[in-house]
Structure 1
Amino acid sequence: MSEHIVTCPTCQDRYPWAEGELLRWSPRDGRFTPVTLVDTANAVKLADLRAGCYVRCPNPSNDTPPHYIPVVYGNCPPPVIIGMVGRPRVGKTHLLAMMVHELLAGRAGGVGLTARPGDTVQHADFKRNKIAPLLRGERLAGTVENLVSYADFLLVDSPSGQRPVIFFDIAGEDFRRAGEGGPSSRFLLNTNALLFVEDVDHVVGRGASTNEWVDDALGRLGVVPQLRQVPAAIALTKADQLRYVHPVDRWLRAPDASGPLRAEDFTAESRDVYAVLDKYGAHFVRDLFDRFARCTLHFVSATGVAVDEESGTYPRGTRPMRVLRPLFALLAMTGVLGGPEALRVGL
């Protein structure tokens, strides 16, 4: 039997998968500690016990601090690695937090998707520090620079089967250093789906003619074979600011998943976003759309309302709008969602 080769999502090293010593996170000790699974003939019980276990990555290149991988990662099909790319303070983390929350809350049932955490330790941290504060109406702080690990790791089930879906969200300033080959943007070399994020403030107020952060990320992506074939989605965030402007109003009123996936809906929304970008002279985003063979455009709002700058909060709470649509598009274009409609998304 041939060796099962995996690529570590953190250090990007490739190596033969070997479980070795099983570990489990100990909140009391604040570290991973060895664990011995009980001997059981119950396959379901064994799977449940293994689901919370980790192994230490061998990190063959030895260029990344010690890190750990969930055991489930080595027993799954190849992951979908979604890299979020955008300028600082554009709302990437807010969008990702609400996207993950809505997906885990069962809001994607209409298109046949369910999900659960694949890395329970990392997800608990992401939920505590990102999702929970946002649900309480608090504005999130900017992403810490020089992070090398993924933001969250989910196991997504669809009628086509189960796939790991791993999200990377790094600080916008780290993209400016992408040309230096730093570890924080290394995930770009292994990404197989890209989510570009731009906000209405830059489109309407300044025309978004350039974006140095995205340009630098694309520069590092230049070594990726057939980059044009990588599925991409572009999310125009804070679209609630245009909630009374046609055709934005039409899309913000539409639910994320009211029924089965329809490729024509993605085409229609992409057309309308493109028209809005053209109206305001946002040539950079339009040109970005044309760089990829399969790409979709979306109106989204992670919070549904603007933040109160004085208090740094959302006094009336948050109400996400259309946050799952870019994810649906990427999962269709990467084969997580199957069927003839999925094959047409982004074309």
Structure 2
Amino acid sequence: MTSTTHSPLPGPGGPGPDKLAFTLPSGRRRVTPVRVGREFRRERPLPQLIRKAVLDDDGQQCVQVRLSARDSANPAARALLDIEAGTTLQLNQALGDTDYAPLFPRIIGYELDAAEPFLLYDPPRGTAVTRIQVMGAADQGVFTRDLMLALCLLERRGLLPRGVSPATVRWDGARVQLWGLESVTGIGRPRRPWGAAPFCPPEQRDGEGLADPRDAVWSAAQLLYRLATGRLGPADRPPPDLGEHRMLDQMVRDAFAPRAADRPTPAQVLDLMAPGTARRVRLAVPPDETRPHHDAFEEALQLKRQAPASRTGRTPGAETANGEVLCPYCLETIRLDLTKLFVTDSRMQYQPLDLKGINNPVRRTDVMRGAVQKCTADPEFPAHYIAVPYLTHGRPLTVAMVGQSSTGKSHLLTQMIAAITDGGLEPFGLKWQSVNPEQHARFVRDRVQPLRNGKVLDHTAALGMDDFARFVESLLITDARGQVRPVAFFDLGGEDLVRTDAALRFLLGVDALVFVVDPALALPLPQLDHARQRWGVEVNRDGDLAFGTVLDRLPKSGGYLDVPAAMVLGKADLLRFQPPVDRWLTRPPATSLDPELMREESRDVYGLLRRHAGQAWLRPFDAVRRCTLHIASATGGQEDQGRYPAGAGPRRVLEPLLSLLAMHGMVQVRGGADALAIGEAPALEAVPWEEVERGGDAGRFERAAGPEEPEESEGGELQ
């Protein structure tokens, strides 16, 4: 570890301290003067800067672990810091003030969305094992017990530390303390390379199979051998002299098995030392305050199952006759008219297109693919043009985003479309094309690329009649049966939705609604106070005004609206350590739809909103017969001084759209589309289209327990 120049802790007569703002484990914000000491740099597994600090408002000593501005621009480094913070917070909450708590670092606070994110810890206990040459037999017994106990506690939380090494384990002569929690992954997750031989087990080095608690037992055994002998063990087999060390031979001989399946679990090793200890390990389980709300969710689904459904499953009055569709700009009806076609010339000017001289059908189709039609349905509306493919593939499927202007709809919709164009629908048998290549290229240039590069998108002005609906983008989606359908995306400024015939006509033509919930407006949780203060908003107990305005305009059938809907708890990164958000936000993107899992997520979001926000925020779920609830983050973090320091990293932005496409029959789901939203059929997992066509069960979706981790190689020592 190399040191960098930094002023030591100033004395009483030195310069005044800086201010430090951070979030406490309780979710409250704290701002305090701070004095910092000399800084050290640790390169692996992530490039962290480490220094001692004193919080001057109470004199509390701590250690700050942070990323420099340069290092924090790397999304992988930020992801690891997030994992470390989330794991430590989870353990601190579960262990509380029990005797187990000292086995892990205690976090004081964190700031993860700044240009230089950091964590604050209590000072570490003891000495890193890298500085201990050989340990006596008596200490080895206590050390082994504590280390296996720490691994058992992590296993009870479904977690596996991949970074157990001399650099991440500390010893103070009486107790172990396990650091390196950025290495944690979920048990059952696909293995990814981490660490180096001999402390990294063979299967982990190869990145094969699924993470197993016995992976860490190999690492612990190698660490114990190093403490007993002062030497490193072999990278892929038991040490040849293991028999010369009686305690090691008795306790961990099988831990050196090349295959994880042949090793003991942490609990089995612990019970060899102290029979029954593993069974007595108990973690604090906070009361489930959402349980009554889960019951209410199930009761609401039961009422929906009993309600009669419309025969079409679509909004009444949505059909248009004779190939007519709603113009996405002026929202009047329009149909293909070959006398009103145009193409752009080299100067990007519209020129009339005459098809009479194009007799070759292949060339005619190609020309039509790039042509546009001038819409004259509303002579008072500014001149506008519609891509011909939008008019030639039947009635478009219209998806409308609903929510107040501050909810982050634009960012969510931009990332949703970007995920589609990145191939996110392919695992579900869907392919895409741009309706208008020029328009799509402009959308990518003006919206997708700036957001990915870290720029906060500006609020865009509405473009439709009476400023209530803004057309954003349209794509041609081809399903596994070869059927092509345009999908058009709109942003509704619902709180300003005026009661005009045009507004009603548009809403009657909407095929799917996405209601975006802003947690800062909905949830009176202390960890959101800082965001509310920054944005100048307050909790709204009456729900989102846009939701009610839209829902009130739509006719009901059998007591419910028939248009499929999804509710999205957006900006979920603000709550990434809050159950149940932490559970869902860290899941990898879905590759197939599991109705049971989707209803589980819906139940969790319903319980969170009903418990903290109240029934007003659940009005879309109560009003719409088929409605799923989701957790998503368009950016993965919050902006700092007008930018996302590591770019915008979306999480779970496609799941709401996938649910809606499934309800419209464009994604195949076992049990039918209703199985997703109301559980009408037995809950069976969905499979990719190729498996549906074969009729087999291969390739079923495998559930994973944790976030995607970047690949890293070695552990590092905390001074």
TM-score per shorter chain, which class?
Answer: 0.7 to 0.9
Please name the residue that 1:20 is paired with.
339
- 2:569 is matched with 236
Q: Which runs of 5+ in 2 are unaligned?
A: 1-320, 525-538, 679-719
Distance 1:42 1:252, change over 3 A: same
Deviation (angstroms), 1:47 = 2.8
Contact conserved, 1:179 with 1:219, CA < 8 A, in 2? no
Say whether residues 1:56 and 2:374 are aligned partners: yes
Aligned to 1:10: 329
Residue aligned with 1:151, SS: strand
- Larger relative contact order (C-alpha < 8 A, sep ≥ 6)? 1
- Preserved CA contact (<8 Å) 1:94 1:140: yes
Look at both structures and tell me which one has the larger radius of gyration over its CA atoms. 2
2:472 aligned residue: 151
AA in 2 matched with 1:190? G
Partner residue in 1 for 2:645: 315
The equivalent residue for 1:329 is 659
Match of 1:126 in 2: 443
Query: What's the offset of the Cα at 1:341?
Result: 4.4
Offset of residue 122 of structure 1: 2.8
Separation in structure 2 between the aligned mates of residue 236 and residue 257 of structure 1, nearest angstrom: 17
CA shift, 1:184, in A, is: 7.5
Equivalent residue in structure 1 for 2:548, among 215, 236, 242: 215
Q: Is the 8 A contact 1:151 1:169 kept in 2?
A: yes
Return the letter of the residue paired with 1:346. Answer: A
Secondary structure, counterpart of 1:140 in structure 2: coil
In structure 2, the residue corresponding to 1:297 is in which secondary structure? Answer: strand
2:360 aligns with one of 31, 37, 41 = 41
The two structures have a TM-score, normalised by structure 2, of: 0.44
After superposition, the Cα gap between the structure-2 partners of 1:269 and 1:223, relative to the gap in structure 1 and judged at 3 Å, is closer
- CA shift for structure 1 position 42: 5.5
Deviation at 1:225, TM superposition (A): 11
SS in 2 for 1:75: coil
| Structure-2 change in CA distance of 1:69 and 1:224 (3 Å) | farther
Q: Distance in 1 between matches of 2:346 and 2:404?
A: 35
Aligned residues: 337
Cα distance, 1:183 vs. partner?
5.8
Q: Which amino acid aligns with 1:256?
A: P
Q: Trace 1:88-237 onto structure 2 (pairs within 5 A).
A: 88-148=405-465, 149-160=470-481, 161-170=483-492, 172=493, 175-181=494-500, 187-205=506-524, 206=539, 208-222=541-555, 228-237=561-570
Calculate percent identity across the aligned residue pairs.
34
Distance verdict in 2 for CA 1:138–1:182, change over 3 Å: farther
Deviates more, 1:114-123 or 1:71-80: 114-123
Q: 2:585 aligns with which of 252, 257, 260?
A: 252
Q: In the superposition, relative to structure 1, how do residues 233 and 69 fare at CA in structure 2: closer, same or farther (>3 Å)?
A: same
Could you state the TM-score of these two structures normalised by the residue count of structure 1?
Answer: 0.87
Q: Secondary structure at the match of 2:677?
A: coil
AA in 2 matched with 1:345: L
Deviation at 1:124, TM superposition (A): 2.7
State the superposition RMSD in angstroms: 2.7
Corresponding residue for residue 396 of structure 2: 79
Partner amino acid, structure 2, of 1:165: V
**Residue in 1 that maps onto 2:245:** none
The 1:27/1:239 distance shift into structure 2, 3 A limit, reads: farther
Structure 1 unaligned blocks of 5 or more: none
**How far 1:227 sits from its partner (Å)?**
6.8
Q: Which residue in 1 is equivalent to 2:90?
A: none
SS of equivalent residue, structure 1 residue 83: strand
Give the drift of 1:3. Answer: 4.5
In the alignment, the residues of structure 1 paired with residue 322 and residue 507 of structure 2 have an alpha-carbon distance, to the nearest angstrom, of 25
For residues 185 and 305 of structure 1, what CA distance do their matches in structure 2 show? 37
| Distance in 1 between residues matched to 2:627 and 2:573, nearest whole Å | 22
Write the distance in 1 (CA, Å) between the matches of 2:437 and 2:560.
Answer: 32
